[in-house]
């Protein structure tokens, strides 16, 4: 049993270890309190609309502060959802794969990044989409912002969908 004191706040971590024949590993202990404080300082005094725009810009560029908690997902079939969008006069089937989630602790926000493409059985070569097409319960339940990196999905090409949502207390 180890008691490790970290940081200027003197946060104490208790580690219980069992000896095993494994290669040496480095373990980094990080308190989420520091992340919360840093995130709060990043958005201090900003109105909600400015927070949303700032986060969407970071997502589009793929440049996130270290204080965000990022989870990347493999582009595997189990992460794929088939979704249908419909406009006046046509309906299209899309494949939506979750690529990453980004939690902004302290702000109660979570960004989901999806990769979208046309399903092979869709007859259209190009489908025009808009953000409101993705207000679907399969993709989000408490959205505060939605953005696309393109409005036309061409066969064989991917576009990115960003959904910023209010995080549930229990997640």
- Model pTM above 0.85: no
Other CB atoms within 10 Å distance of the CB of residue 112: 20
Q: Under 8 Å CB-to-CB from 145, ≥6 apart: which residues? A: 52, 55, 56, 162, 163, 164
pLDDT per residue as tens digits for the range 123-170: 778 888 889 989 988 899 899 999 999 998 888 899 999 999 998 755
What are the helix (H) ranges across 32-92?
32-43, 48-61
Whether 171 has a pLDDT exceeding 50, the answer reads: no
Residue whose token pair is 């270290």: 66
pLDDT per residue as tens digits for the range 69-112: 998 887 666 667 778 877 666 678 888 889 999 999 989 999 99
């Amino acid at each position: 049993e180890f008691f490790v004191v970290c940081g200027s706040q003197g946060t104490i971590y208790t580690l219980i270890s069992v000896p095993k024949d494994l290669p040496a590993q480095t373990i980094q202990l990080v308190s989420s309190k520091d992340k919360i404080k840093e995130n709060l300082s990043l958005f201090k005094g900003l109105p909600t609309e400015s927070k949303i725009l700032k986060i969407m810009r970071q997502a589009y560029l793929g440049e996130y502060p270290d204080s965000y908690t990022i989870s990347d997902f493999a582009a595997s079939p189990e992460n794929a959802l088939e979704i249908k969008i419909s406009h006046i006069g046509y309906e299209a089937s899309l494949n939506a794969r979750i690529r990453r989630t980004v939690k902004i602790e302290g702000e109660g926000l979570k960004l989901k990044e999806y990769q979208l493409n046309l399903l092979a059985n869709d007859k259209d070569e190009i489908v025009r989409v808009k953000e409101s097409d993705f207000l679907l319960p399969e993709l989000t339940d408490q959205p505060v912002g939605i953005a696309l990196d393109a409005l036309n999905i061409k066969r064989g090409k991917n576009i990115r969908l960003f959904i910023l949502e209010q995080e549930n207390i229990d997640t």
